[in-house]
Amino acid sequence: MNRYSRQTLFSPIGIDGQEKIRKKHVLIVGMGALGSAIAETLTRAGVGKLTIIDRDYVEESNLQRQLLYSERDAQERVPKAEAAKKRLNEINQDVDVGSIVGEADAQLLESVAPDMDLIMDGTDNFETRFIMNDIAHKFRIPWIFGSCVGSFGSAFTIIPGETPCLQCLMKKLPMNGQTCDTVGIIAPTVQMVTAYQTAEALKILSENNNALRNTYVTFDLWQNQTLSIKADATKNPDCYTCGHHPTYPNLHYEVATKTAVLCGRNTVQIRPSGCSNISIEGLTIQWRKAGYEVSGNPYLVSVLKGDYRMVLFKDGRALIHGTNDVAMAKKVYHSLIG
């Protein structure tokens, strides 16, 4: 216990709380900026078991804010889940770290969720977050949302049966669609979001739920602004995720994003669920400000990102040219669309 002596001296946790933390199993979905910082904090805090999931590999542009990775990891393109596991084992051998290199889709999350005490959001897209939201409510597991871009961040703790879910929240507090690839991000934004997330995690893991934050917190570090919003009123009794008659829609195949490799074209088609008209003009302005080469017409927009070209249609459908790899195509899509 000497290792955690400063943590146990904190009276709300104490020795009893530390023992509770040691017996808990946490799932972290996404091992980018948020996920890697969350994983390091919980590993140093002595959580009993971590399961980490990520589909991506380490790149040089990650090193500015993703704390667990080295230049060698980027040079060798090591999968983030494996690079993170190696580093976490070096930090604290007492923590059982399990890594999964793969897509955090409904099937995978349903298979691992029953063993979890807490789910942590380290993702970079709302498609995966809505799947996590349904999984958490189906299995009655607390989960902690976090999001950041530029100098702006937000966090919210979701307790099934008590708080509004992410679907309820986003209908009242819509996101702006910006991504780190279009407006950038500074490392302190990540650290601030994960400070909120991991503080809430320690409360849940040590069974101090009475201390949980009951507001949606959002901030802009550059503009020195912080806002804490009471979210209780956003809870919808008819919500398909957290309402009286849940159906967990994001776990159903028919509402999932569809992908198809186009034969002989080195192209992947992505069709998100619930396609509707989008603002091609707004995206064109955003991408040009970020320095991307953009062209198009009233029906579609084409944007060049590195070795890949994405053509986006007004109905939300996209063609990712330059790859037959579905995972890479989805990575390009989410980096530009959000």
Query: Which pLDDT value is given to residue 1?
Result: 65
Q: Are the C-beta atoms of 217 and 194 separated by less than 8 Å?
A: no
DSSP per-residue codes, 104-128: --HHHHHHHGGG-SEEEE--S-HHH
Q: Are the C-beta atoms of 22 and 205 separated by less than 8 Å?
A: no
Q: Is 275 a catalytic residue?
A: no
Q: Are the C-beta atoms of 48 and 60 separated by less than 8 Å?
A: no
Strand ranges of the sheet holding 300-305, from the earlier edge strand across to the other edge = 258-262, 267-271, 318-321, 308-313, 300-305, 293-297
Per-residue pLDDT in tens (0 to 9) along the chain, 338 residues = 689 999 999 999 999 999 999 999 999 999 999 999 999 999 999 999 999 999 888 989 999 999 999 999 999 989 999 999 999 999 999 999 999 998 898 999 999 999 999 999 999 888 899 999 999 999 999 999 999 999 999 999 999 999 999 999 988 776 666 788 788 899 999 999 999 999 999 999 999 999 999 999 999 999 999 999 999 999 999 999 999 999 999 998 766 777 778 766 789 988 886 655 577 788 888 899 989 999 887 777 899 999 999 998 877 888 999 999 888 898 899 888 87
Catalytic residue among 168, 180, 239, 242: 180
- The token duo for 221 is 């570090």
Query: Which pLDDT value is given to residue 196?
Result: 98
SS3 228: strand
CA 194 from centroid of its chain's CA atoms: 11
- Dist CA 330 CA 334 (whole Å): 6
Tell me the domains of the chain and their CATH numbers.
2-251 (3.40.50.720), 257-337 (3.30.310.10)
